[in-house]
Each structure stands twice: as structure tokens, then as C-alpha cells.
Chain A
């Protein structure tokens, strides 16, 4: 079992729709959870991070964390073609030196 699992996609949504990206993790001791966006040929760009159960909103993005289910998601409202990218989920546990463990990423395609 991989530590961090994501559906590789591609996930295709029409412009203006809500894109829902999901991530599960195996280490119940994971404490912080990150969503990065990576355009082809570019480095990962931090979108959001969350460490408490519940929702965290920032503009069109909402991260949702459920530690009991070991599940974190990212919702993108009013999806735009510029949101088309690979979305990487990462988890962190302080006892393991603050390093990030990444999932394989989900490719999102927003069609105009």
C-alpha cells in the first residue's frame, strides 16, 4: 500500500464546474496535509495546506480533511482552463523530520 494515494486521472471537468480531487494516506500519525499544483515543466506551487479536521477555504479552493477516514480533498470552484495541471497531495509528520511524502498526482483538465 502506498503511503499517499491519488487517482492519476485525468479528471476532466467543464469550465465553471467544481473539480474534486481526492487523496488518502496510510500513516494515521500524519499531521499536515498539502496540495500543490504543478504545470508541465514547472516546479510545484503550494495551493493550500491544512492540519485540522474540517474545511479550509482560500478563494476558489477548499481543502477538506477527515483524519478519522485518513482522507483529504481539494475542491476547485468555478474551474478555469488555467487550472489544468497536475495536483499533488503531500503529507507530513513532524516526528519524521518535517519531510513531505507525495502522492503520484492527479491530472486535471478543464475544458472550455
Chain B
């Protein structure tokens, strides 16, 4: 299994500011994803982080709000821009290898509160 380090683990931010979340994996993984889990809800995919190219965003999520970088196979960042209280959620990095018979693992998450 992959060991995933996600930073920060939690933060309280002022509305209108931005926060960048980092995800570091201990091995080269094919796929990296960013999910959001709003209070009391399940996980929703924000985007797939693609190495060396623009991320692939899901419906309802846009690059201007959630810019993502993935400079190599072990590292990715998600920025939550111009935050509002509605952005208060847990943000989770997930990794897997491409293929049918591969597992998918999650980082410990970033609990974001926007005030």
C-alpha cells in the first residue's frame, strides 16, 4: 500500500483567502485524485490530477476555484481559492495505480473551516 502524507491536517481561514493543500506519496503512483467531503456527506470527486498537464475536473468544479498541480508522480497540490464558508469541508487526496485490480488509498485529509 502507498503511504500518503497530506498537509495541513486542518486549518481555519478567513473568507476571501486561499489555501494550498499538499499531497505527498512515498512511491510513484499512476493516479492521484482530490475529493471533498462536506459535513455529514459522502465523498465527491473534485478532479483527477494529471502529471505535467491540466487536471481533469468533474462537473461543478472549475480550475479557477480549485487549481491543481501535479509536477511529478509523487506530489500534488490543491488550492481552494477565494474561500467562502461553503468551502468548509474535508479535502482528501487519493492515489491508485491504473488498472482493474488495483487498490485506492486516501490521505489523512485536511479539515478546512472558513470563517
Contact = CB atoms under 8 A, between A and B. Distances in A.
Contact of B43 (A41, A44, A97): A44
B54 interface: no
A72 interface: no
Contact size class for B?
20 to 34
Contacts of B30: 98
A61 interface: no
Identify the interface centre among A32, A51, A94, A104: most chain B CB within 10 Å of its CB: A32
A42 B37 CA distance: 11
Contact of A42 (B43, B44, B56, B108): B108
A46 B103 contact: yes
Interface in A16-44: 31-32, 34, 36, 41-44
Contacts of A92: 104
Given A43-B106, A104-B41, A99 B100 contact: no
A99 B98 contact: no
A31 B101 CA distance: 9
Contacts, number: 64
Interface of B: 1, 30-31, 33, 41-45, 48, 56, 90, 92, 94, 96, 98-109, 111
Given A41-B111, A49-B104, A90-B104, 14 more contacts: A32-B100, A32-B102, A34-B103, A42-B108, A42-B109, A51-B100, A88-B43, A94-B100, A100-B43, A100-B45, A100-B104, A102-B44, A104-B41, A104-B42
26 contacts: A34-B104, A41-B111, A42-B108, A42-B109, A43-B90, A43-B109, A44-B43, A44-B92, A44-B106, A46-B1, A46-B104, A46-B106, A49-B103, A49-B104, A51-B100, A88-B42, A88-B43, A97-B31, A98-B48, A98-B98, A98-B104, A99-B33, A99-B48, A100-B43, A100-B94, A105-B42
Interface of A: 31-32, 34, 36, 41-46, 49, 51, 88, 90, 92, 94, 97-105
